[in-house]
Structure 1
Amino acid sequence: MKNKQILKNRKIAGILKNRIIKGDYPFDSKIPSETVLSEEFKVSRPTIKSAIGFLVRDGYISCLPSIGSFVIKKSGAKRIIGYVSPDLSDPFHVDMISNLEKITSSKGIGLIIASSGESREEEISAIERVIKNGAAGVLVSKSISSSDIETKYKIPLVWTGGVSNDSLYDKVTINNQKGIQQIIDHLMSLGARTFAYAEAEKGRIENSQRYLTFKAYLEKQGIKIGDNLIFKTDERGQKGGFELFKSMIKTGLPDAIVCYNDWTAFGIIEGAIQHKIKVPEQLKVSGFDNILLSSYFKVPLTTINYKAKLIAQTAVEILLGRIEGSKGKIKAVIVEPELIIRESTRKG
């Protein structure tokens, strides 16, 4: 609930910031009152107050008690970028947005956030929305074929998540294959010999790099993984992971469960706790992404550090370069993963 409220505050702050940058609220002008804005956005006055607080912190607005809030930063061209992701409630994207907010704020750049859903049409619609709201370039967190966007709107895109090797756009992402291999090597070093894979994420599992690497790498180690050890649901996150664990317990648990991401792993661990299965003594569980909550969960989670801060910083730099006219070859920055070992897999 707290994450959703923060996202709402930031979204409103982003809209107001973009109005300042575009000149809708001119320099030295008074912006609409909290009452007027709360009616416009159909939210409470405290929500508007929190959103304005972001703008005060970023140096766009100055608040004078009993008088109002005034614009203190002049508008400028090409000072807005967009971030499009399929699910803004996902803790991974909350972390990424937090990093992007800090980066864009330090550069005096506006940030528009949009949810893209799961279809090509929804993703294109989300990209179109941020462009129509003034974005000069867009960061897209998931690769769904939208090859006509850059041609149609003449603006640059940078992918920041899973994307095919033949992508026509710049990309900054993690080496998913190496990350999964590091996890498996770690689990095997602890004596694990039977494995299951859990993915609580929408989309076809056959398109998941992490799943494909999991299966291929274990087979390379002489461990074949049958379909009965692959667990997939379109129900995202912790709830999906919990449902997957209930299916697993019916067929017998392996030594270790490799999860698509931390959010899925939280549900697996929650299921284990409720069924009185000890993690890691009876079952080892790993995640992927190293979201903020992973070190504070009931059983701190072994995971792969996605290095969201580095990816966000690099992607923004590439995007700003393209906005300013930088040409040249398509850039593909593949960030090296880092294994983070915590309690969920320690030697029992």
Structure 2
Amino acid sequence: NDVVQQVLATNQAVVNNDITLTTNSGKKLIISLLVSPASMHSSGAIVVFRDITKQKSEERQQAEFISTASHEMRTPVAAIEGYLGLALNPQTATIDDKARLYLTKAHESAEHLGRLFQDLLDVSRVDDNRLSNNPSVVDMVAFVGDLTAMFDMKAKQKNLMLYFKPVRGDVPNDLNRKMSPVFYTFVDHDHLREVISNLIENAIKYTKQGNVIVDVQGDDDNVTVSIQDSGIGIPSEDLPHLFQKFYRVDNTDTREIGGTGLGLYLCRRLVEAMNGKIWLESEYQKGSTFFVRFPRMLHEDAMQRLEEAAAAVEQNKVALAPNPLAQQAELLQQQLAAEQQVAHEAAVNEIARQQNQA
């Protein structure tokens, strides 16, 4: 009844796919509920129930298969990647230039396959609501700046200029950090790292020449990270679908670059899990700018949480501090066990000796 009243009040359709019904025989069904206004000027509503039990079961089985298969295949791929890395390391192996070229290509393919399996694992966790979210205080300018610096080498390999806008080139790094505005958010470190890294890597991958600019801006309510590139851009007809799972822009520019269509979908789900918003602006053949926005945390709240976290760390250190009496007792137990083992072995040997003499 509340859903119907909501539809009548807003004149907007409401969908709920998480309703569980139990039949007279005790069987549980998963129901999809769609409530729509009867017309623009009507006071009535149309309610449609649909049994999606089988659909949900198939989705769950598919997610479990993808998760299991990705996990099982990721382990041998990681081993292949590691051994290829050892073969390419001059300190562990000596190979000629031709072999190095072949092994380098194989190593890049193994890395790509490893990232694909990791994306599949992450997507299966997201779709199955198994994604953990452990927020903590993040200094966005420092955090995003450190992430951007990790991609300097990749940008230079393509002769691209990678800029972190809050940092001025004519000011020393230590002073830069003092001059840069401080924007705190309360988000998951790992999720944020994956999102920003994915967007910067995409910007470099889809930019043939020019530059990539990473910026952090904020106001009293929000903090916004932007990643701007001078790359191939995205056609307007593809923009509404870009954050859908497995969706890829299909044209001559993207076919030669490749991709899975999972990265931006995963970014969207991770950002939404952190109460954020992600969107983009793009013009085909001129470049794209991706934006990620999170609620800003007040400076006082951030300082309080950081102090609480520091106190908890100190408390854990005290709790985990070695107890001399406990260590001494454990040592005595180990010595006693060793002596008992020696005595047992001596007894066994003596019995065996007597049996041999008999």
TM-score (norm 1): 0.23
Q: Which has the larger radius of gyration?
A: 2
Bigger relative CO (Cα 8 Å, ≥ 6 apart) = 1
